[in-house]
Chain A
Amino acid sequence: MKELYDVIVVGSGAGGGTSAYVLTQAGLKVLMLEAGREYDPVRETPMFQTPSQAPLHGAPTPDKSGGFYDATVDGGHQIPEEPYAIADDSPVKFRWWRARMLGGRTNHWGRFSIRFGPYDFKPRRRDGLGVDWPISYEDLAPWYDKVERFIGVAGANEGLENTPVSPPGVLLPPFPFRAREYFLQRGLESMGISVAAAHLAILTQPHNGRPPCLYATPCLRGCSIGANFQSTTMLIPQARATGNLNVRTNALVYQVDLGKRGLASGVSFVDRKTGAHHSVRGKSVVLAASTVETARILLNSCTSAFPDGLANESGEVGRNLTDTIMVHTVGQFPALEKLGPRNDDGASIFHMYVPWWGYQSQARKQLDFPRGYHIEPHGKYTMPEMSEMGQYAEDCRAPYGAAFREEMRRKYGSYIYLSGRGEMIPNEKTFVDLHPTLKDKWGIPAPRFHWQWGESELQQAAHQQRTYLEIIDRLGGRFVPEQSVGVDTPLPTGVHETGTARMGFADKDSVVNQYGQSWSVKNLFVMDGSVFASHPRSPTLTIIALAWRNSEYLVDQARRRNL
C-alpha cells in the first residue's frame, strides 16, 4: 500500500475511535487498522430477541462466553489462533478478554462512565505509593466536559469526596433508582455510607439527534438505535462522513516501522483472513490497540536502536500492568419477596452506585489498605437467563413440584449482587512480556502474563467482602456463597487492563509524556488505557478524554511541523 497517510491509528475502540474522530474532524487523512471484522450495531444488534430463541436458551459457551447475545465477535477469554501464555511462576492465571470487531470492547461494555477525581491523578503525593500522573484533574477536566457533552452521559452531581461535579447542563437526567436500589440506599445510609446516581453513557433524553434509551435491551448486546455509547455508532461513522477516514479491518498490526531520523514511518500488519503481510506509511502513528496489544506491538518492534522494544528506553513497556479488583457477593433478601412484578429493565445496568467512602478513614489510618473501591449493585427483576435461573434452582430448599415453583417465584427478584471495583497498586511482579517461543497463527510472538496480587489488593478484597457481608446482614439478607466470587475463590480478571505504556514526567521511568507521545519517537503516540499512571476505577471515560485531548495536541503539533 503506497499511500502516505497523515496518521495511522491502530485500534478502533475507545481510544482509536476517539482519535480517528478528532483527527478527521481536523482535516487529517487517517488510516484506521482494526484486527477484527467490520461490525455495524445498527444492523447486527439483537434488540428484542429472547433467550428461548437462541441456542441453549442463550447460555454461555466457549464460543460466546458472555452469553449468546453478547455483542463480542470472535472473542472471549480464548482466541484459538491467537494464544497467550501465563508465566510458569505466575501465581495468578490471568484471563484476558479480547473482542475481534470494529469498535472493540466499546460494543459490549457496561457504559459506566465515571471521571477520575483530583486525588486519583496525584496518588503518590497522597500516600507514597506508585507514581503521580504528569497532569492534574484540572488539566483534563475540560476534556471530561467535552466528552460528556459529546457522547451524552446521564447522571447527577452529588459532590461527594473525590467525585467531581460536571458543569451545569452537561449531564443528562439520571436514571431513577430502582426499588431494590432504594432498599439498598436506605440500608447503606443507615451505615453512614452515601450513594450516588450512576453515570452512564446512555441517553435519558434526545441528544444531538440521537433518540433516548428504550429501557429494554441489555447494553451488552450493543444498541441499534445509538442510544448508548459505542465507537461504531458515535465515532467511526462520523469520522467516515468527513471523507478523511479509511478503515481496514482484519488487519492485525504487529510492528511499528521506523524510518529516517528515528521517526516512525508506519506500521506492518498481517491480514487475518489471507495471511498476507502489508506495510502502510504514515507521518504519525497512534497505538490504541488496548493495553496488552499495544505493549505487544512495542515490544515486538525491536531495532538496533531499541533492542528492548520500541519506545522502551525506560524499561517500563509491559510493566505497571493493573486490573480492577472485583469481589462479587450475593445476598438473598426476604424483605424483597414482598414486592410484585414490575418492569425493571431500565438501563440494564445499575442506576445507583456507591462511590468510595473511606477517604477519611484512611486519613485517620484506620484502614489496612491504600486507595479504595466503589460498589456496583445489581438487583432487579432481570430478564431470566439460563445460568441465573439454574443458580436460583440450586438455592431452593423445596426439591421439586408445586413447592419448588412457588419458591422460585417468591425468590425471583430478591437477590442483590454487590460487586466491587477497586484500585490495584502496580507491582514489580505484574507485567506482560513476549513469550520466547509461543507464537500466534502468523508467527507473531504471543504475550506472556506475569500476575501477582500484592498485599494491598488482598487486604482490600477482604475489606470488600466484610463490607458486603455487613450490608447483607444489615438488610436482613442471607449470604449465598455459591454465587459469590473473589475471596475464597480467585479474583476475576480481564476487565480493565491498564498501565503498560504509562505516562510520566521524564523518560527514565515512563514510556510517554502527558500527551501520550513517546519520549524518543516523537511522532509515535499511545492513546489507550496503557498510558494510565494509576488505575482508580472504570477507565473508559478517561481513555476517551485523554485520546481527545492528545489527538488535539497531535493535530497542533502536526500543523506546526513539530512531528
Chain B
Amino acid sequence: MTGAGLIKVSRRTTLQWLAAITAGSNMSITCSAMAQTASSQKGQLENAIARGYGTDPDLINPSVPWPRTLTPRQLRVIAVLADLVLPGTSTAPAPSVLGLQDFVDEWVSAPYPQQQTDRKVILEGLKWLEAQSQWRWAEGFLSATDAQRKELINLMVPKSSAEKGPPYIFFRRFRQVIAGAYFTTPEGAKDIGYIGNVPLPGYPMVTDRERIVLDEELRKLGIKAN
C-alpha cells in the first residue's frame, strides 16, 4: 500500500468507518489485512444448503439452483468496478448495462471450490476498496469521484507478473471473471468479433482478401509464396 498522506478525519467519521469495515470482519485498514484467512468470512459463507446443478443438469433449459447472496451495496460496487474495467463504447454496452454484477453474484455464490475461493478474494477486495476510500477521502467507494476510484484501481494493478499478494490477486481475478462474463454475452461476443453459432450450408472458405493479408504477413516473416 503506498502512502498517499494521511487525511484528517473527524472522530465521528472514524467511528462510522470502523463500524462499516468491521461488521462481520476483523480487518484493519492495512493491505496486509487482506491476507487474513477466510475464518473472518464464515458468517458470509452461509451456503451449506446451496447445491450445485449436479452431474446431469438440463442442458436445453439451463437454470441456476443456488441462491444469490450479495447485498445491494456490494452489487453496486461491483457494477462500478466492472464498468471501469470495461467501459462501454458507442457500439458496446458497459457490463452494468448487461447486469453482469448479478453474474458476479451468481459466481461467488456458487457452491464449487473455485467459486468459493473467488468469493473470498472478491469480497475481501471489496472490503479493501471501501476501507481505502474511507481512509483516504472519508467517503465510501460509491461516493468517491471517478478520479478517486481510478486512483484506487491503479493501486490494485500489479506492476509485474511477479506481484502475487493482495490486492493484486483481487484485481486480476476480478478482471478475469468480468472479462469472461462480458465476452460470453451475445453483446460481448459480437464486440470481440465472434459471428458464429449460426447454421450454415457450407464452411466459408478462406477468401482471396484473407489470403493476401496472410501472404503479406508471411512474406515479412521470410516465408515466401509458392
Contacts and interface: CB of A to CB of B under 8 A. Distances in A.
Interface of A: 37, 44-46, 48-59, 61-64, 68-69, 73-76, 175-179, 182-183, 186-187, 190, 214-217, 221, 335-336, 338-347, 351, 381-394, 399-402, 404-405, 408-409, 412-413, 474-476
Contacts of A409: 191-193
B59 A339 contact: no
B195 A57 contact: no
A289 B89 CA distance: 54
A215 B213 CA distance: 24
A323 B122 CA distance: 39
B106 A179 contact: no
8 contacts: A57-B181, A176-B205, A216-B196, A335-B217, A336-B217, A343-B195, A404-B85, A409-B193
Contacts of A183: 214, 217-218
A400 B84 contact: yes
Contacts of B194: 341, 381-384, 412
Nearest to B192: A412
Interface string B181-195: 111111011011111
B56 A215 contact: no
Contact of A343 (B64, B200, B218): B200
A390 B179 contact: yes
B86 interface: yes
B52 A63 contact: yes
A63 B113 contact: no
A382 B194 CA distance: 7
B63 A62 contact: no
A346 to B, nearest CB: 5
Contacts of B210: 179, 339, 342
Nearest to A43: B60
Nearest to B82: A400
Contacts of B197: 48, 50, 216-217, 345, 383
A57 B60 contact: no
Nearest to A57: B184
Given A63-B55, A339-B214, A476 B176 contact: no
A509 to B, nearest CB: 40
A73 B56 contact: yes
A400 B157 contact: yes
Contacts of B186: 50, 52
A176 B206 CA distance: 8
A506 B130 CA distance: 75
Interface in B123-163: 153, 157
